[in-house]
Amino acid sequence: MNDPRLEQTALLLSGAQAGDPGAAEELFRRYLPRVRRIVAARMGSRLAELVELDDILQETFLDACRSPSGWRGCTLGSFYNWLARSVENNIADQWRRARAAKRGSMRVRHFADLGATTHREAAFAGGGETPSRVLGNRELDARLERALLLLRDEFREVVILRILCEMSFEEIAAELQASEPTVRQWLSRALRQMRMTLGDSPHIPGERAGGAGALRPENVDDG
């Protein structure tokens, strides 16, 4: 474990498991905003209309940090991805329960294929465009979210895993069961399509030494 951040995370997880509220609070502070952005990038921020997103996010995050046995990775990228997947699974479960309870209601919207066509359509349904800006700490920029949701599923996922989760190409290839050259090609094509959709140079903030990282293929390396 050579990454100091990973070592600190492991210590905080141990503290949270032992019932230390300060450790859990610090984990929230460090990772909750990023995990929320990952979930929104995959599922669309409009999912908040269907479920109590913040409640699910916080409860799942706390449960996962107290019982991290499901995390089998050894990098921060895999940690981000594991937390986000835990949240997404609970969101889907709650939505299915809510749908069953309200079956027949006109307010219930079909949500069967999370992150796919339904959300691409929903992303543009709101109309209007917000100014392109750097992705904030709390929410996805509206235009950036639409650009992500318009991507093919594998393109969107490689952008999320590489830039938001900060996973290596080797990790992403294993996660997506694809070769590294294929993953690199998907990322390049995804970023090119996003620039065409946005008409400018979108940015996503990272926690790398260089600060916010531009969504440009030439700026996304395997470091």
Strand pairing category for 213-214 and 203-204: antiparallel
- The CATH number of 117-219 is which of 1.10.260.40, 1.10.357.10, 3.30.465.10, 1.10.10.10? 1.10.10.10
Calpha distance 131→141 (Å, rounded): 9
pLDDT in tens, 8-17: 888 888 888 8
C-alpha 98/C-alpha 101 separation (Å) is 5
pLDDT at 72: 65
Residue 46: per-residue pLDDT:
60
pLDDT at 184: 96
SS3 207: coil
- The domain limits of the chain are 4-101, 117-219
Q: What is the pLDDT of residues 24-53, one digit of tens each?
A: 888 888 888 888 888 878 877 666 555 666
Give the domain 4-101 fold.
Rna Polymerase Sigma Factor; Chain: A (1.10.1740)
Structure tokens at 156: 């969107």
pLDDT < 70: residue spans in the chain: 1-2, 45-53, 68-70, 72-73, 98, 102-141, 200-223
